[in-house]
Structure 1
Amino acid sequence: MPAPDPAATPDRHARCPCLSGNDYGDCCGRLHRAEARAATAQMLMRSRYAAFAVGDADYLLRSWHPRTRPETLELDPSVRWLRLDIERTSRGGPLDTEGIVEFTAYSVRDGIRTQQHEVSRFEKVSGDWLYLDAVG
């Protein structure tokens, strides 16, 4: 699996791709570098979106539940991720072991804008939130 493209990785002081309003280095970058854990399912969802945006397939696989994780993951470098909207969350807090995050992610590929709507399930295993799957 190829490492993230350093040219695509934001400067640690650039705005985080997850649009939290925080710097990448203090937000999703900490999780991508394994310096911190996601405290909530929503934080993990945001960090996974940011990983798509910066091309970090390794982080996406690390944050995927082993029951549903593919063996490999190839990201399309022609997709540019534009925005993440969190629609709703259910559970997924620091004291929960399961959570749901509904979101819409916007991207552009070959000049065509697209959006992906998903209701994602997350599970906490040994203190780490992991992406389980998409429902409905």
Structure 2
Amino acid sequence: MSRRTKVATACPCGHQGMAYDECCAPAHRGHAPATAEALMRSRYSAFALDQDAYVLSSWHPDTRPAFVEPDSHLRWVGLDILESTGGGMFDAEGVVEFRAHYRDHGKRGDMVERSRFVRHDGQWVYWGPILTDGSLANV
């Protein structure tokens, strides 16, 4: 079993030190996350575990790319939630700002994004990034 596909003890998203099976695995197996932040965490874990089908299925159909191509040299190694607004059980939209840590060809890096999430067919989906000038991407 490769190190990219084995089930790790700790969840890649790092949420409260939870095990993967208790944190993001239920979403990856079809259980819809209850909040936008939980969906964001499950998407990060899917990127970390190369679960491209989940990444695509959790993307809004109006903004979803045709495919995502994993980079074999890129490893996602940590996640920090910087801010989360809306995105609760009774909300229609939410915004999650995060910092994702990675290693690319062994060099450390960070990606920061403010992401917009919306409800689609009763479930949270990723819409896209909020651009730095305050506008929304793909709107």
> Under a length normalisation based on structure 2, what TM-score does the superposition of the two structures give?
0.88
For residues 97-116 of structure 1, the aligned pairs below 5 Å read 97-116=92-111
Q: Structure 2 counterpart of 1:111, which letter?
A: G
- Give the distance between the partners of 1:70 and 1:6, measured in 2 at CA: 27
For residues 85-104 of structure 1, the aligned pairs below 5 Å read 85-104=80-99
Query: Which 5+ residue runs of structure 1 have no aligned equivalent?
Result: none
Q: Structure 2 counterpart of 1:49, which letter?
A: Y
4+ residue runs over 4 A deviation: none
Alignment check: 8 A CA contact 1:10 1:24 kept: no
1:32 correspondence with 2:28: yes
Q: Structure 2 counterpart of 1:89, which letter?
A: S
> Under a length normalisation based on structure 1, what TM-score does the superposition of the two structures give?
0.90
Q: Give the drift of 1:9.
A: 2.9
* Alignment-derived partner of residue 9 in structure 1: 5
% same residue: 43
* Alignment-derived partner of residue 74 in structure 1: 69
Aligned pair in 2 of structure 1 residues 78, 71: CA closer, same or farther (>3 Å)?
A: same
- Give the distance between the partners of 2:112 and 2:22, measured in 1 at CA: 27
Q: Give the drift of 1:6.
A: 6.0
SS of the counterpart of 2:110? Answer: strand
SS of the counterpart of 2:71? Answer: coil
**Over aligned residues, Cα RMSD in angstroms?**
1.4
* Alignment-derived partner of residue 117 in structure 1: 112
